[in-house]
Amino acid sequence: MNLLKSVKVGNNTLKNSMVMAPMTRSRASINGVVGDATITYYTQRASAGLIISEAINISVQATGSPLTPGIYTAEQISAWKKVTEAVHEKGGVIYAQLWHTGRVGHSLVKNGELPVAPSAVAIEGQQHFTMEGMKDYETPRALSTEEVINIVQDYKQAALNAIEAGFDGVELHAALGYLPNQFLAESANQRTDQYGGSNENRNRFVVEVMNEIVNVIGTDKVGIRLSPTCLYNSIVHQNPVEQFTLLINELNKLPLSYIHFMNIPFPAEHFPHYPVDSVETFGKLTHHPIIANFAYNRETGEAELEKGIAKLISYGALFLANPDLPKRFELNAELNTPDKSTMYGGQEQGYIDYPFLN
């Protein structure tokens, strides 16, 4: 079974081709510090070939949702070090996903500060969770050019902090409508400086961040997550095939661990210019290993690997509910069902109490 075969990614030889996808769990303290339950959560799932952590805020400004972890204070770094040490003791490999939410936040979560974004364009048709309940999105504050340059350096420092915390590498979260994805999309980026106005300029922020991270932590320790067909958080691309082809050509110049594609479905009748299959369209353009993601199961994940483009498949909710997912796939055993009501926030229930196989 291809899913259970060892594969080399970056500097690590993984025990199988199954990746635990990054999933926001909102179990950190109000100060963004993870605790003992998070240590248990990740060590329970150390049989994954690769664990990609939940999204981790790179700075105070980056934070968009309550009770999400950070990696910008000594206390946060120390807490993550306990997680990575425990995962390594179980023979696991773990990357940190670096996160800046941009306009996907609310001033109620940000000590009264407005969210920031490439341009002052609000998310429409959605609401954001705050400790005071669901709220309409606010119009974000547009970043100055100098601020954009500073955020690139924030990513650089966060990558250094992740390595200090013992992570084997980092993944830039450039998908699902968060800040890097906002720079990529015309619907969120109306800038006229070097970070907007053309495909090359809209790609610039992501390219600069990736270059800085690779330069500071080294070869084969950096991945990136992309979602070329994502419509969530008011993200729309005018010409995604052209733009992401240019972006991948730039990423091909870097010694990356992998590219992680979210193959998100979309209404084709409204977006006929979107690629039907992001993994197939863009995966063929790179020499980097491809991780494919989005609602795969045992059979469809195996079928995706058999196509020969993706080398790994990432699983989100299935790993959330099945800490021993590789063993269950090996035995074709019954799977636990994820409890959606406990996915975001709470204590141990729905977090570290999912049963293993007997």
**By CB neighbour count within 10 A (0-12 exposed, 13-18 middle, 19+ buried), where does 228 fall?**
buried
H-state helical runs in the chain: 36-44, 74-89, 145-164, 179-184, 199-217, 240-251, 278-283, 298-306, 317-321, 325-331
Q: Could you tell me if residue 124 is inside a domain?
A: yes
Give average pLDDT by consecutive 10-residue segment, the chain, 358 residues.
96 96 96 97 98 98 96 98 98 98 96 96 95 94 98 98 98 98 98 97 98 97 97 96 98 98 93 95 97 97 98 98 98 96 92 95
| 178 is an active site residue | yes
98 within domain boundaries:
yes
Return the CATH number at 265: 3.20.20.70
Quickly count helices (H) and strands (E) in the chain: 10, 14
**CB proximity list for 270: less than 8 A, separation 6 or greater:** none
* CA proximity to 181, closest of 137, 236, 140: 236
Burial of 53 (C-beta count, 10 Å sphere; 0-12/13-18/19+): buried
Residue 326 lies in a domain: yes
Flag whether 358 is in a domain: no
User: Is residue 186 in some structural domain?
Assistant: yes
* C-alpha to C-alpha distances, 88 to 20, 21, 23, 252, 341, nearest whole angstrom: 15, 18, 20, 30, 30
Q: Please state the φ and ψ torsions of residue 243, each to the nearest 5 degrees.
A: -65, -50
**Lookup result for tokens 């906002």:** 182
The predicted pLDDT at position 131 comes to 87
What range defines the domain where residue 121 resides?
2-342
Return the structure tokens found at 30: 């109000």
Is residue 201 in a domain? yes
- DSSP code of residue 121: -
Alpha-carbon gap, residue 216 to 157, rounded angstroms:
9
d(CA 293, CA 17): 12
β 290-293/258-262 pair status: parallel
Q: Is residue 115 part of a domain?
A: yes
Structural domains counted in the chain: 1
Of how many residues is the chain composed?
Answer: 358
Q: Which of 41, 155, 178, 274 is catalytic?
A: 178
User: What single letter denotes the amino acid at residue 10?
Assistant: G
Q: Does some domain include residue 352? A: no
- Give the C-alpha separation, 187 to 236, whole Å: 5
